[in-house]
Structure 1
Amino acid sequence: MPENLLLNINNPEDLRLLDETQLPQVAQELRNFIIDVVSVKEGHLGASLGVIELTIALHYVFNTPEDLLVWDVGHQAYGHKILTGRREIFHTNRQLHGISGFPKRSESIYDAFGVGHSSTSISAALGMAIASNLKGEHSKQHIAVIGDASIASGMAFEGLNHAGVTDANLLVILNDNAIGIDPSVGALKKYLTAVKNGKNPRQNNMIKSLNFDYSGPIDGHDIFALIKELKRLQKIKGPKFLHVITTKGKGLKQAEEDQVKYHAPGKFDANTGEIHTKVEENLPPKYQDVFGLTLLDLARKNEKIIGITPAMPSGSSLKFMMEALPDRAFDVGIAEQHAVTLSAGMATQGMIVYCNIYSTFLQRAYDQVIHDVALQNLPVIFCLDRAGLVGEDGATHHGVFDLAYLRCIPNMIIFSPLNEIDLQNILYTAQLGLKNPIAIRYPRGRGMITDWESVNFGHYEKIAIGSSSCLKKGTEIAVLSNGPIAKNVTLALTKIANPDEIAHYNFAFVKPLDEKELHAIFKKFKTIITIEDGAITGGFGTAILEFSALHHYTSEVKILGIPDEFIEQGTVEELQQCCNINVNTLELIFLNYLK
């Protein structure tokens, strides 16, 4: 039985001691190691399996960490982490107090740049290369690895455009596998497909036109060809571009055949690849499916309704509308800025546009939200999936800032549904002639009502803009919650022996606030506690404090939510406990105020 080479590789220096002929064995062992761990611990699978040979070749040829390697997004960086000193702790990947699922500068000197959102690698590596030139470090290498879905983003082209007029020692490697999380879309995908198929004349190469030394496409699973080409490019100065063809999920048959499902498959059998089925009968629906199915129902009844998502048709469940009404539902690729302004353009022509973007990704289009939508008061309907704490994806993906960064924008309506029925009703209300843009934020995961379809589907109720509701009456303390975090409040109150002293209000609208109800609450209660699944600074609780100060109320206001820090990875329950908004902590807080 051959020696396990991977067990003796604690850093890239160990890797470089091996003979080149041993590297295919390392590749197989690395694939097996990732499959074994991810099958039990979960995580992103397909992307890392697809770049095993490329990862090994990069660390074998280049002198990392002195040579700087930047991964785009980071879904594909598991092999990189394992080869750079984190093999023995890789089982803690994406867990509380474990290693991050993405490259992170504070975690390793080999992680040259922290990434979680796409299309940043070229700009970051170019910045490093220009800095090296200024410091006289002309032999230093700077490598950006970017996927074909990510390179279609505007920021990636901005980086390419700048790099082409510099003498920066930059190597851009295009990992072309025709898929991001969902299949790549757009004209650039068609262009790259033509290049791969030899149908595009070399003299018309768009990368060459940007003044890059272009090579490829080459087989990204031929480790010897990769090493040979990387060594050649290592000697060439200036901006270089290597086009590499890979297969996402390479080495696991099921992951190659169903690349969308095996992007992050959950737990599966490491030997067969079969995903362990979860018992999903009699469970409440996922919020994303409530959105997707309700939007399709509304769109079938209203021909003006349009659905737009930047590269997340499966994750957002816009796929239901895309399959049934393909002419009115659009995946625009990883292009959040374009998605927002495209929505604004359609809105000027009377279309009712539901722009579905994960909360963390809307940050990438903040200027467009302000200038192209809100400033012109266009009634775009922003559906912010994955709002609040999202769990194991960690700091780059928590949707905790949207309340704060949207609340300061004039004309913007902000709503957090209490549950899935509330989400259906606001989606229905939004297409009844709103005169302002609205942001509807809802969490990752499941709702609370098992029979939601029979309860409300097709029988929606209009919601009064700016309204609130009393969920429970009380005499001494008023708890004001925003969105589904109300469930934690309700559960905490059921654990208190005498909860009659505590009232609970649902303030779904953060903007506009129900000021009539707030006046009544501040006149009645001496203590008010606000709870939100969002950043405390500038969020819902801050809005309540502002109201209190403006009207000279003297009630004590206690704000609970996400503290002023970046929250790491972990389960949602663990992270809620860290932020003091879990059920048990809320019970203790309420009891303390009752003393």
Structure 2
Amino acid sequence: MALAISGRKDSGTGGVTILSLDELSDDLSALSDSEAAEVCTLLRARLIDTVSRTGGHLASSLGAVEIIVAIHRVFNTGVDRLVFDVGHQCYAHKILTGRNAAMETLRSFGGIAGFPKPSESACDAFIAGHASNSVSVAVGMARARTLQKKNYQVLALIGDGALSGGLAYEGLSDAGNSGEPLIVILNDNGMSITKSVGGVAEHLAHQRLKPQYLRFKKGYRKAMNVLPLGGHIYRVTHKIKTAVKETLLPCSLFEDMGFTYLGPVDGHDVKGLTRLLRYAKDLQGPVLLHVRTVKGKGYIHAERNPDRFHGVGRFCVETGQPIQPPQRNFSAVFGETLCMLAEQDDRICAITAAMQGGTGLDRFAQRFSERFFDVGIAEGHATAMAAGMAKQGMRPVFAVYSSFLQRAYDMLIHDVALQKLHVVLAVDRAGLVGEDGETHHGVFDAAFLDTVPGMTVLCPSSFAELRRMIRQAFYELDGPVAIRYARGGEGEYREDSGPMGSVCLRSGDDLTLVSYGMMINPVLECARRLEEEGIQSDIVKLNTITPLEMEPILRSVRKTGRLLVAEDVIEANCVGQRIAAAILQAGISLRSMELVNLGRRFVTHGTVPQLQKLCGLDGMSLREKAKEVCSRGER
């Protein structure tokens, strides 16, 4: 269902003024150019107002408003397939597809997601939370359409850095060669590719996209198809035109791949975009429309600071300042500690994959610019590059979100671990991350890192432990080392438990509680609540989860006979399963055991406390589960 405009009134000048956005069933194709421009203005106001209260990805969505409106004027996204890359450009699309009222619940528990989600709307063609896959998905949909002899359009909206990922070029190469009718819209906001050069190129690009030229080109092609020898004449003139164009226009890369290239064009001209999309739709082949936009367009604070407003919490619309001042977090402590070590050791280098600010590396990039490398959305390349640096005697650290590290698994095995190279991974956003939801929870790294031979995985639960573990990773350990830490700040636990391996935080005879990282906080709460009911718990905290130091755990379970392991990761190859296997191998018979984790599912979006409660990982839920373990294990 498309969202239409309600409350139109005569402006007194022969035009129509649009008063508000409302959920109706009218088709946006009926909008005039002036009305479409007004819709863009209303959408921007709605986006700024909404995200100021919910938080979210603002700058990217603001920059894509005219593109989204033009798409909805030309295509029916309930039938045609619009694949986003990445999905945080989709807010205007959500408003225009029946979710305007639901924007009040954006990224909230039980509300709509911050990314496209087919379960929300038939107009969302594909889940898109990570980058660079849209063209691959789109060509797959186009081929399915051809094989099934169906009739619908396929579009991929790529940009905002996604073109820096290698998968994008794999998709582009195949899509152009496929001959399948599909449209790739490149949203070039300066985050992906360099500016075109030269005034002549700009002038010719403008001329070849004028309506009269496009009409002539379309008519000429039709005429040549019906005239005797027309096909031969067309091929000769086309070759001459292409040769001239390639010497003057910066579009040979995409045309060499097999695309009809249109652009670059103004991405904030909704009239021009609509016209070009209609033309691209008629071409019946692979088309790449190169659109230039301003990230954060229409909100001065976002235009001036697009990185800060890329992903933002609640803020004051008038000032652009956050409602709650930023709190000290693990990412910042990582960045500060790395700077201190780099001051003393010129072998230390920092690598990021388009996440400089998010991983806390802003200060490092400023102070040690010659040793800082942002490789774009290319996690596999970052890992292989780190391996090359380590092989030649440097000490690289790759700072990466847990969910993004998934892309680099092959390189971890073949480029890093196989040669036992000393590469440090700063695995940010480990565990449940909150409002970004399924696509961003860092719940797989504990499982797959454990499968990498020679890997050491450290799990700080406090800032003090993170500082110590960074030093240990560089100077006390060999081979690949991962330090995984949560998004946000510290919890109740703010100590430094000291050594690597496993440590006992408190003693009790009734139950063994095991956890690591930020999950130690609800486990401590659980133990306190159990103590109020007369149940005394051993708490074993794991500072290292790969390899596991089992002796403190075995010693504890021999005493208590009961075990509960709590962790915010998937069930498969979780730490609890490894502990259970080790206990069995040691010949210890437990009276009762419970492994509390996320199971075999994807977890929705919401605040971390809400999600912990949903998954039975908050202090109260763990207490109830622990009481069950104790009751099952009564003598």
- Partner letter of residue 160 of structure 1? L
Deviation digits for residues 175-218 of structure 1, max 9, x if unmatched?
01113xxxx5xxxx33x443799489316631122121101111
Partner in structure 2 of residue 471 of structure 1: 505
CA contact (8 A) 1:253 1:273 kept: no
Partner in structure 2 of residue 584 of structure 1: 620
Deviation digits for residues 429-454 of structure 1, max 9, x if unmatched?
1111522211111000002489x8xx
TM-score (norm 2): 0.86
Deviation digits for residues 539-595 of structure 1, max 9, x if unmatched?
111111111122222113211122211000000000000111112212333344445
Deviation digits for residues 50-87 of structure 1, max 9, x if unmatched?
11111010010123222211111111100001101111
- Partner letter of residue 324 of structure 1? R
Partner in structure 1 of residue 190 of structure 2: 178
Give the alignment of 1:325-364 within 5 angstroms: 325-364=368-407
Partner in structure 1 of residue 12 of structure 2: none
Partner in structure 2 of residue 562 of structure 1: 598
CA contact (8 A) 2:83 2:138 kept: yes
Match of 2:556 among 493, 509, 521: 521
SS at match of 1:552: coil
Partner in structure 2 of residue 224 of structure 1: 271
SS at match of 2:107: coil
Distance across 1 between alignment mates of 2:482 and 2:593: 26
Q: Name the count of aligned residue pairs.
A: 571
- Structure 1 position 251, deviation (Å): 1.0
Match of 2:444 among 395, 401, 424: 401
Does the alignment pair 1:263 with 2:307?
no
Give the alignment of 1:429-440 within 5 angstroms: 429-432=472-475, 434-440=477-483
Partner in structure 1 of residue 536 of structure 2: 501
Distance across 2 between alignment mates of 1:413 and 1:268: 40
Distance across 2 between alignment mates of 1:196 and 1:361: 39
Give the alignment of 1:359-374 within 5 angstroms: 359-374=402-417
Give the alignment of 1:107-256 within 5 angstroms: 107-137=120-150, 139-179=151-191, 189-190=193-194, 192-194=195-197, 198=201, 201-202=248-249, 205-256=252-303
Deviation digits for residues 14-57 of structure 1, max 9, x if unmatched?
32233333111111111111112111122111111111111010
Residue 500 and residue 85 in structure 1: after superposition, are their counterparts in 2 closer, same or farther (change >3 A)? Answer: closer
Partner in structure 1 of residue 242 of structure 2: none
SS at match of 1:471: strand
SS at match of 1:375: helix
Distance across 1 between alignment mates of 2:623 and 2:282: 64
Moved more, 197-206 or 509-518: 197-206
Match of 1:547 among 569, 578, 582: 582
Distance across 2 between alignment mates of 1:404 and 1:44: 29
Distance across 2 between alignment mates of 1:474 and 1:548: 19
Which structure has the larger Rg over C-alpha atoms? Answer: 2
- Partner letter of residue 20 of structure 1? D
SS at match of 1:445: coil
CA contact (8 A) 2:31 2:73 kept: no
- Structure 1 position 502, deviation (Å): 0.7
Distance across 2 between alignment mates of 1:545 and 1:306: 39
CA contact (8 A) 1:379 1:435 kept: yes
Does the alignment pair 1:96 with 2:109?
yes
CA contact (8 A) 2:83 2:125 kept: yes
SS at match of 2:61: helix
- Partner letter of residue 24 of structure 2? N
Deviation digits for residues 327-362 of structure 1, max 9, x if unmatched?
111111000110111111111112111111100001
Distance across 1 between alignment mates of 2:88 and 2:156: 14
Structure 2 unaligned residues grouped into runs of 5+: 1-7, 10-16, 203-246
- Partner letter of residue 143 of structure 1? L
Distance across 1 between alignment mates of 2:587 and 2:127: 45
Distance across 2 between alignment mates of 1:60 and 1:24: 12
Deviation digits for residues 274-314 of structure 1, max 9, x if unmatched?
3234256xx6x300011110011111111111111100000
- Partner letter of residue 43 of structure 1? G
SS at match of 1:357: strand
Partner in structure 1 of residue 227 of structure 2: none
- Structure 1 position 420, deviation (Å): 1.2
Partner in structure 2 of residue 571 of structure 1: 607
Moved more, 304-313 or 490-499: 490-499
Moved more, 565-574 or 230-239: 230-239
Deviation digits for residues 453-475 of structure 1, max 9, x if unmatched?
xx99xxxx9x655x211100111
Distance across 2 between alignment mates of 1:403 and 1:513: 12
Partner in structure 2 of residue 312 of structure 1: 355
Does the alignment pair 1:23 with 2:36?
yes
Partner in structure 1 of residue 459 of structure 2: 416
- Partner letter of residue 312 of structure 2? P
Residue 279 and residue 339 in structure 1: after superposition, are their counterparts in 2 closer, same or farther (change >3 A)? Answer: closer
Match of 2:547 among 501, 506, 512: 512
Partner in structure 1 of residue 324 of structure 2: 278
- Structure 1 position 422, deviation (Å): 0.9
Structure 1 unaligned residues grouped into runs of 5+: none
Residue 64 and residue 498 in structure 1: after superposition, are their counterparts in 2 closer, same or farther (change >3 A)? Answer: closer
Partner in structure 1 of residue 84 of structure 2: 71
CA contact (8 A) 2:401 2:429 kept: yes
> Alpha carbon RMSD of aligned pairs, Å?
2.2
Partner in structure 2 of residue 59 of structure 1: 72
Distance across 2 between alignment mates of 1:423 and 1:120: 34
- Partner letter of residue 214 of structure 1? Y
- Partner letter of residue 595 of structure 2? I
SS at match of 2:116: coil
Moved more, 308-317 or 91-100: 91-100
TM-score (norm 1): 0.91
SS at match of 1:313: coil
CA contact (8 A) 1:418 1:506 kept: no
CA contact (8 A) 1:407 1:539 kept: no
Deviation digits for residues 81-130 of structure 1, max 9, x if unmatched?
11011112121111111111100122211111111000111000011111
Residue 382 and residue 195 in structure 1: after superposition, are their counterparts in 2 closer, same or farther (change >3 A)? Answer: farther
CA contact (8 A) 2:540 2:552 kept: no
Partner in structure 2 of residue 33 of structure 1: 46
Distance across 2 between alignment mates of 1:448 and 1:516: 27
CA contact (8 A) 2:396 2:424 kept: yes
Distance across 2 between alignment mates of 1:24 and 1:319: 37
Distance across 1 between alignment mates of 2:65 and 2:251: 31
- Partner letter of residue 308 of structure 1? I
Residue 123 and residue 6 in structure 1: after superposition, are their counterparts in 2 closer, same or farther (change >3 A)? Answer: farther
Distance across 2 between alignment mates of 1:374 and 1:101: 36
Partner in structure 1 of residue 517 of structure 2: 483
Distance across 2 between alignment mates of 1:21 and 1:493: 64
Distance across 1 between alignment mates of 2:533 and 2:414: 50
SS at match of 1:562: coil
Match of 1:428 among 471, 480, 492: 471
CA contact (8 A) 1:9 1:15 kept: no
SS at match of 2:254: helix
Residue 6 and residue 143 in structure 1: after superposition, are their counterparts in 2 closer, same or farther (change >3 A)? Answer: farther
SS at match of 1:316: coil
Distance across 1 between alignment mates of 2:250 and 2:571: 55
